[in-house]
Chains A and B, each alone.
Chain A
Amino acid sequence: MLLIPCPYCGPREEVEFACGGEAHIARPANSDRLSDAQWSDYLFMRKNPKGVHYERWNHARGCRRWFNVARDTVTHRIYAVYKMGEAPPSVTP
Chain B
Amino acid sequence: MTTQPYRLARGGRIDRAKRLRFSFNDRAYEGYRGDTLASALLANGVVLVGRGFKYHRPRGIMTAGSEEPNAIVQLGVGDRTEPNIRATQVELYDGLSAASINCWPSVEFDLGAVNGMMSRLFPAGFYYKTFMWPPSFWMKYEYFIRRMAGLGKAPDAPDPDRYDKTFAHCDVLVVGAGPAGLAAALAAGRAGARVILADEQAEPGGSLLASGETINGQPAAEWIAAALAELASMPDARVLARTTAFSYGDHNYVQMVERVADHLPPASSPGPRQRLWRVRAGQVVLAAGAIERPLVFADNDRPGIMLASAAATYVRRYAAAPGRRVLVFANNDGAYRDALALLDAGIGISAIVDPRPDPGAAIVAEIRRRGIEVLAGHVVAGTKGHGRVESAQVMKLDGDKVAGAARSIGCDAIAMSGGWNPTVHLFSQSGGKLRFDAARATFLPGAPVQAIRVAGAANGATSLQDCLREGHAAGAASAADAGAAGKAGDAPQAEPATPDEPAMPIWIVPSVKPVGEGGKHFIDHQNDVTAADLQLAVREGYSSVEHLKRYTTMGMGTDQGKTSNVNALALLAVTLGHEVGAVGTTTFRPPYTPVTVGAFAGHDQGDLLDPVRKTPLHGWHEIMGAPFENVGQWRRAWYYPKPGEDMHAAVGREAKAVRTGVGIVDASTLGKIDIQGPDAVELLNWVYTNAWNKLEIGRCRYGLMLGEDGMVMDDGVTTRLGENHYLMTTTTGNAARVLGWLENWLQCEWPHMRVYCTSVTEQWATVALNGPLARRLLAELTTDIELDPAKFPFLSFREGRVAAIPARIYRISFTGELSYEINVAPSHAVALWQALMAAGEKYAIVPYGTETMHVLRAEKGYIIVGQETDGTVTPHDLGMDWIVSKAKKDFIGKRSLARADTSRPDRKHLMGLLAENPSEVLPEGGQVVAEVKDRPPMAMIGHVTSSYFSPNAGRSIAMALIKNGRNRMGETVHVPAGERVIRATVTEPKFFDPEGKRLDG
Nearest 8 CB-CB pairings of A with B: A31-B895, A76-B250, A3-B251, A66-B747, A1-B253, A39-B895, A75-B449, A1-B249
Q: Does B709 contact A (CB under 8 A)?
A: yes
Expressed in whole angstroms, the Cα–Cα distance for A28 and B450 within the complex equals 39
Provided the pairs A3-B253, A84-B751 are in contact, do residues A60 and B740 lie with their beta carbons within 8 angstroms? yes
In the complex, residue of chain B having the shortest beta-carbon distance to the beta carbon of A29? B890
Expressed in whole angstroms, the Cα–Cα distance for A85 and B747 within the complex equals 9
Contact across chains for B251 and A2 when beta carbons are under 8 A apart = yes
Among candidates B431, B747, B890, B894, residue contacting A65 with C-beta atoms closer than 8 Å: B747
Interface size on A, residues (CB 8 A): 25
Please provide the chain A residues from 57 to 85 with a CB less than 8 Å away from any CB of chain B in the complex.
Answer: 58, 60, 64-66, 75-76, 78, 84-85
Contact across chains for B280 and A66 when beta carbons are under 8 A apart = no
Contact across chains for B896 and A43 when beta carbons are under 8 A apart = yes
Among candidates A2, A20, A64, residue contacting B250 with C-beta atoms closer than 8 Å: A2
Contact across chains for B748 and A40 when beta carbons are under 8 A apart = no
Contact across chains for A85 and B895 when beta carbons are under 8 A apart = no
Interfacial chain A residues near B743, Cβ < 8 Å:
58, 64, 66
Contact across chains for B431 and A75 when beta carbons are under 8 A apart = yes
Expressed in whole angstroms, the Cα–Cα distance for A65 and B748 within the complex equals 10
* Per-residue interface assignment for chain B, residues 897 to 918, with 1 indicating a CB less than 8 Å from any chain A CB and 0 otherwise: 0011000000000000000000
Q: Does B674 contact A (CB under 8 A)?
A: no
Contact across chains for A34 and B249 when beta carbons are under 8 A apart = no
Q: How far is the CB of A39 from chain B (nearest CB, A)?
A: 5
Provided the pairs A1-B250, A3-B251, A20-B744 are in contact, do residues A27 and B749 lie with their beta carbons within 8 angstroms? yes
Expressed in whole angstroms, the Cα–Cα distance for A32 and B450 within the complex equals 48
Expressed in whole angstroms, the Cα–Cα distance for A60 and B743 within the complex equals 10
Among candidates B251, B740, B896, residue contacting A76 with C-beta atoms closer than 8 Å: B251
Expressed in whole angstroms, the Cα–Cα distance for A43 and B751 within the complex equals 21
Contact across chains for A36 and B900 when beta carbons are under 8 A apart = yes
Interface of B is mostly: mixed
Interfacial chain B residues near A58, Cβ < 8 Å:
740, 743-744
Expressed in whole angstroms, the Cα–Cα distance for A66 and B747 within the complex equals 7
Among candidates B709, B748, B890, B895, residue contacting A66 with C-beta atoms closer than 8 Å: B748
- 20 A-B pairs whose Cβ atoms sit less than 8 Å apart in the complex: A1-B249, A1-B250, A1-B253, A2-B251, A18-B740, A20-B744, A31-B895, A36-B900, A39-B895, A39-B896, A43-B708, A64-B743, A66-B748, A75-B449, A76-B250, A76-B251, A76-B431, A78-B251, A84-B748, A85-B751
Interfacial chain B residues near A53, Cβ < 8 Å:
none
Interfacial chain B residues near A65, Cβ < 8 Å:
747
Interface size on B, residues (CB 8 A): 24
Q: How far is the CB of A17 from chain B (nearest CB, A)?
A: 12
Expressed in whole angstroms, the Cα–Cα distance for A36 and B898 within the complex equals 8
Interfacial chain A residues near B708, Cβ < 8 Å:
27, 43
Contact across chains for A34 and B895 when beta carbons are under 8 A apart = yes
Expressed in whole angstroms, the Cα–Cα distance for A84 and B744 within the complex equals 11
Interfacial chain B residues near A64, Cβ < 8 Å:
743
Expressed in whole angstroms, the Cα–Cα distance for A40 and B709 within the complex equals 9
Q: How far is the CB of A23 from chain B (nearest CB, A)?
A: 8
Expressed in whole angstroms, the Cα–Cα distance for A43 and B901 within the complex equals 14
Provided the pairs A43-B709, A66-B744, A85-B751 are in contact, do residues A36 and B899 lie with their beta carbons within 8 angstroms? yes
Expressed in whole angstroms, the Cα–Cα distance for A60 and B249 within the complex equals 22
Interfacial chain A residues near B899, Cβ < 8 Å:
36, 39-40
Interfacial chain B residues near A40, Cβ < 8 Å:
899
In the complex, residue of chain B having the shortest beta-carbon distance to the beta carbon of A31? B895
Q: Does B791 contact A (CB under 8 A)?
A: no
Expressed in whole angstroms, the Cα–Cα distance for A64 and B748 within the complex equals 12
Q: How far is the CB of B818 from chain A (nearest CB, A)?
A: 40
Expressed in whole angstroms, the Cα–Cα distance for A56 and B677 within the complex equals 26
Expressed in whole angstroms, the Cα–Cα distance for A31 and B892 within the complex equals 10
Q: Does B889 contact A (CB under 8 A)?
A: yes
Q: How far is the CB of B740 from chain A (nearest CB, A)?
A: 7
Q: How far is the CB of A51 from chain B (nearest CB, A)?
A: 13
In the complex, residue of chain A having the shortest beta-carbon distance to the beta carbon of B708? A43
Most chain A beta carbons < 10 A, residue from B250, B253, B709, B896: B250
Contact across chains for B251 and A32 when beta carbons are under 8 A apart = no
Provided the pairs A27-B749, A43-B709, A76-B250 are in contact, do residues A3 and B280 lie with their beta carbons within 8 angstroms? yes
Interfacial chain B residues near A85, Cβ < 8 Å:
751
* Per-residue interface assignment for chain A, residues 36 to 48, with 1 indicating a CB less than 8 Å from any chain B CB and 0 otherwise: 1001100100000
Please provide the chain B residues from 248 to 286 with a CB less than 8 Å away from any CB of chain A in the complex.
Answer: 249-251, 253, 280
In the complex, residue of chain A having the shortest beta-carbon distance to the beta carbon of B746? A66
* Per-residue interface assignment for chain B, residues 876 to 898, with 1 indicating a CB less than 8 Å from any chain A CB and 0 otherwise: 00000000000001100011100
Expressed in whole angstroms, the Cα–Cα distance for A39 and B903 within the complex equals 15
Expressed in whole angstroms, the Cα–Cα distance for A3 and B250 within the complex equals 8
In the complex, residue of chain B having the shortest beta-carbon distance to the beta carbon of A60? B740
